[in-house]
């Protein structure tokens, strides 16, 4: 039995005196695990094929687990580089693209200013504020969520940010930004610009080739969506080699495990399953969107992702009613433009049928 000293017994932790204000003020990421048809996290509805898992396990049996994943990451970089048409030193890899968002901020902007569209992926702002940054939000056009290119550029000139994040397609609004507009922003930017292409496989639109022409442009991607590896955590950033070198300094050593690397190397040799998943999901996306259009009381927005954003009269009540029927979607509420919005991930055909049936009943 462990006995406590008098000092330990009398110690009462005062969080306000120990933790930074930015940490105390930050919201904690939390998502309740609710039983039912899970359509709330933009995951793939299908796991990777069992035969590919068997290949990964066979590789791991031959892999020394007592050694750090040093050369393994180099091999993965080379394979990715060949697939993307870049050099290995143009790629940074981490345990999830969120970690590269954090590393990009650590490398460029602590106690400075970053700029983002509004609404957008919440992790940009959360991580920026944890590092005491001011966040400039540039509102998307209220009707169709398009990015106002002129306004965005003017705000950059005014605030002189140290880092810019723009997802394309947008999240959580699911729409694409005109490429010429993105080019204007990149050419006007006084700082690195990260284009987050998490949903590129579903849109087919990319600026990755531009990283060869703009040394301050980074393209961020993930294996969590189309490749169905959300549970293993793997993301990468493509940029000019000097930008990669500096951002990699802000990644913890050996942050990608041998298990994840072995899985990635295997699936990159067998991309057919991913293409099949994407084809089916895009077909289902059209079907679900068309059916949502037929329901009264719903405003549905166009999508180039694996999810659909729609607005109802009472998002919280609709969410509760859907949950009661065993269908789990995501409430999207930023307290500004989005106050009555829901987001549904495109699932398997059966999952989508359950969602459409439940929604038609609760609406």
Q: Does residue 158 belong to any structural domain of this protein? A: yes
* Percent of the residues in the chain that have a pLDDT greater than 90, as a whole number: 90
Q: Does residue 280 belong to any structural domain of this protein? A: yes
**If you search the block for the tokens 């939000």, which residue do you land on?**
137
Q: Does residue 11 belong to any structural domain of this protein? A: no
What confidence category does residue 11 fall into, taking pLDDT thresholds of 50, 70 and 90? Answer: low
Nearest residue to 291 (alpha-carbon basis) of 269, 274, 308 = 308
Q: Does residue 294 belong to any structural domain of this protein? A: yes
pLDDT of residue 324: 96
Claim to verify: residue 321 and residue 354 sit in the same structural domain: yes
Claim to verify: residue 148 and residue 185 sit in the same structural domain: yes
Domain count, the chain: 2
pLDDT digits 0-9 by tens, 351-361: 999 999 999 99
Q: Is the pLDDT of residue 94 over 60?
A: yes
- Single residue among 249, 268, 287 that ends a domain in this structure: 268
Q: Does residue 2 belong to any structural domain of this protein? A: no
Average pLDDT of the chain to the nearest whole number: 94
Claim to verify: residue 59 and residue 120 sit in the same structural domain: yes
pLDDT digits 0-9 by tens, 236-271: 999 999 999 999 999 999 999 999 999 999 999 999
pLDDT of residue 35: 85
Claim to verify: residue 240 and residue 287 sit in the same structural domain: no
**What is the CATH number for 187?**
3.40.640.10
pLDDT of residue 8: 54
Q: Is the pLDDT of residue 12 over 90?
A: no
- Round to whole Å and give the CA distance between 137 and 143: 17
pLDDT of residue 6: 55
Dig out the tokens for 72 from the structure.
Answer: 């393994």
pLDDT of residue 323: 96
pLDDT digits 0-9 by tens, 292-323: 999 999 999 999 999 999 999 999 999 999 99
Claim to verify: residue 311 and residue 173 sit in the same structural domain: no
- Single residue among 227, 246, 268 that ends a domain in this structure: 268
**What is the CATH number for 33?**
3.90.1150.10
Q: Does residue 6 belong to any structural domain of this protein? A: no
pLDDT of residue 4: 57
pLDDT of residue 287: 98
Claim to verify: residue 171 and residue 125 sit in the same structural domain: yes
All residues at 6 or more sequence positions from 179 whose CB lies less than 8 Å from its CB, including other chains: 205, 207
All residues at 6 or more sequence positions from 261 whose CB lies less than 8 Å from its CB, including other chains: 69, 72, 73, 75, 76
Q: Does residue 10 belong to any structural domain of this protein? A: no
pLDDT digits 0-9 by tens, 167-184: 999 999 999 999 999 999
Report the pLDDT averaged over residues 93-103.
97
All residues at 6 or more sequence positions from 340 whose CB lies less than 8 Å from its CB, including other chains: 311, 312, 313, 314, 315, 333
Report the pLDDT averaged over residues 260-284.
96
Report the pLDDT averaged over residues 68-84.
95
All residues at 6 or more sequence positions from 210 whose CB lies less than 8 Å from its CB, including other chains: 183, 186, 217, 219
Q: Does residue 29 belong to any structural domain of this protein? A: yes
Q: Is the pLDDT of residue 28 over 60?
A: yes
Claim to verify: residue 223 and residue 284 sit in the same structural domain: no
Claim to verify: residue 101 and residue 30 sit in the same structural domain: no
pLDDT of residue 332: 96
Claim to verify: residue 315 and residue 264 sit in the same structural domain: no
Contact 343, 172 (CB under 8 A): yes
Claim to verify: residue 41 and residue 170 sit in the same structural domain: no
* Residue ranges making up the domain that contains 62: 50-268
Q: What is the pTM (predicted TM-score) of this model?
A: 0.94
All residues at 6 or more sequence positions from 29 whose CB lies less than 8 Å from its CB, including other chains: 126
Claim to verify: residue 68 and residue 213 sit in the same structural domain: yes
Give the DSSP H or E segment for 266: helix 258-268
Claim to verify: residue 23 and residue 58 sit in the same structural domain: no
**If you search the block for the tokens 């496989």, which residue do you land on?**
201
Strands (E), the chain: 37-38, 91-94, 113-118, 134-139, 163-167, 193-196, 217-222, 235-239, 299-300, 307-311, 327-328, 330-332, 341-345
């Amino acid at each position: 039995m462990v006995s406590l000293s008098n000092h330990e017994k009398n110690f009462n932790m005062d969080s306000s005196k120990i933790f930074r204000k930015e940490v105390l003020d930050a919201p904690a990421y939390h998502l309740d695990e609710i039983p039912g048809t899970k359509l709330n996290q933009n995951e793939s509805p299908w796991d990777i094929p069992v035969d590919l898992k068997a290949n990964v396990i066979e590789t791991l049996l031959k892999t020394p687990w007592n050694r750090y994943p040093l050369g393994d990451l180099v091999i993965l970089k080379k394979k990715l580089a060949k697939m993307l048409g870049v050099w290995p030193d143009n790629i940074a890899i981490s345990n999830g693209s969120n970690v590269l968002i954090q590393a990009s901020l650590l490398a460029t902007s602590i106690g400075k200013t970053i700029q983002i569209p509004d609404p957008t992926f919440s992790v940009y702002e959360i991580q920026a504020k944890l590092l005491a940054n001011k966040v400039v939000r540039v509102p998307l056009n209220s009707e169709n969520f398009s990015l106002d290119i002129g306004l965005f550029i003017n705000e950059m000139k005014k605030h002189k940010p140290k880092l810019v994040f723009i997802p394309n397609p947008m999240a959580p609004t699911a729409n694409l930004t005109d490429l010429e507009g993105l080019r204007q922003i990149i050419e006007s930017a006084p700082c690195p610009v990260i284009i987050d292409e998490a949903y590129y496989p579903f849109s087919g639109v990319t600026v990755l080739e531009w990283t060869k022409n703009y040394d301050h442009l980074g393209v961020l991607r993930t294996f969590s969506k189309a490749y169905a590896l959300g549970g293993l955590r793997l993301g990468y950033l493509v940029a000019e080699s000097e930008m990669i070198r500096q951002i990699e300094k802000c990644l913890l050593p050996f942050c990608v495990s041998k298990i994840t690397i072995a899985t990635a190397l295997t699936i990159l040799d067998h991309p057919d399953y991913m293409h099949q998943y994407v084809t089916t999901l895009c077909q289902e996306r059209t079907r679900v969107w068309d059916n949502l259009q037929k329901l009264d009381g719903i405003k549905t927005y166009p999508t180039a992702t694996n999810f659909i954003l729609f607005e109802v009269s009472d998002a919280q009540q609709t969410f509760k009613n859907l949950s009661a029927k065993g269908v789990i979607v995501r409430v999207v509420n930023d307290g500004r433009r989005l106050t009555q919005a829901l987001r549904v991930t495109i699932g398997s055909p059966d999952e989508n049928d359950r969602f459409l049936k439940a929604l038609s009943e609760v609406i």
